[in-house]
């Protein structure tokens, strides 16, 4: 009985929350700008799964993809500062950047690659959980 009461109380508390949140408003900004500002690491081979993810995001948000090519360090810095919405490149989970930005799952991988192996993936701003979830859903093939 206590569990049922606790579950009910928790449900009421969470119902008032707007989760997941984007403290910097990435998802809302993409929608209002109708643009996804994408950093593309120079030399990163396009991956069909990543292209499909971008197409799904573009449809979902009614946004065009504005591509900016550059070196990974510069693009990830721009992402961290909020000047980009996404960065695509080949990153290892063990990258020092993994503490500064959110590195998504390896695009198109059937199983999780070793942490030190570079794999095609998107990077997003830390804490932008709604946006992170939208990108992950687009990448997983989940219904929009």
pLDDT in tens, 28-41: 999 999 999 999 99
Average pLDDT of the segment spanning 87-91: 96
Per residue in 97-118, pLDDT tens? 999 999 999 987 778 888 999 9
- pLDDT tens digits, residue range 65-77? 999 999 999 999 9
pTM of the model: 0.82
Q: Which domains does the chain have, with CATH numbers?
A: 25-140 (3.40.190.10)
Nearest to 122 by CA among 82, 94, 85: 85
User: Taking each helix axis from N to C terminus, what angle separates 26-33 and 129-140, rounded to the nearest 10 degrees?
Assistant: 70
Burial of residue 6 (CB within 10 Å: 0-12, 13-18, 19+) is: exposed
Q: Can you list the alpha helix ranges (DSSP code H) found in 62-128?
A: 72-80
Question: Residue 101 has which token pair?
Answer: 């930005």
- Check whether 7 has a pLDDT greater than 70: no
Residue 93: the pLDDT is 93
Phi, psi of 128 (to 5 degrees): -85, 65
Average pLDDT for residues 45-55, to the nearest whole number?
Answer: 93
Tokens 């980009």 sit on residue? 84
CB 35 within 8 A of CB 64: yes
For the cut 60, the answer to whether the pLDDT of residue 134 exceeds it is yes
Residue 108 pLDDT? 79
Distances (CA, A) of 34 to 64, 68, 143: 6, 16, 21
- HSE of 70 in the Cβ direction (CA atoms, 13 Å)? 16
Nearest to 28 by CA among 85, 83, 80, 81: 85
């Amino acid at each position: 009985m206590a569990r049922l009461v606790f579950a009910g109380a928790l449900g009421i508390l969470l119902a008032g929350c707007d989760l997941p949140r984007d403290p910097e408003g990435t998802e809302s900004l993409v929608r209002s700008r109708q643009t996804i500002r994408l950093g593309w690491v120079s030399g990163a081979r396009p991956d069909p799964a990543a292209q499909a993810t971008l197409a799904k995001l573009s449809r979902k948000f009614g946004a065009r993809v504005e591509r900016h090519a550059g070196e990974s360090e510069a693009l990830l810095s721009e992402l961290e500062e909020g000047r980009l919405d996404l960065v695509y490149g080949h990153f290892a989970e063990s990258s020092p950047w993994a503490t500064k930005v959110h590195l998504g799952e390896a695009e198109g991988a059937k199983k999780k690659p070793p942490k030190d192996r570079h794999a095609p993936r998107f990077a997003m701003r830390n804490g932008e959980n709604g946006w992170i979830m939208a990108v992950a859903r687009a990448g997983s093939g989940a219904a929009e």
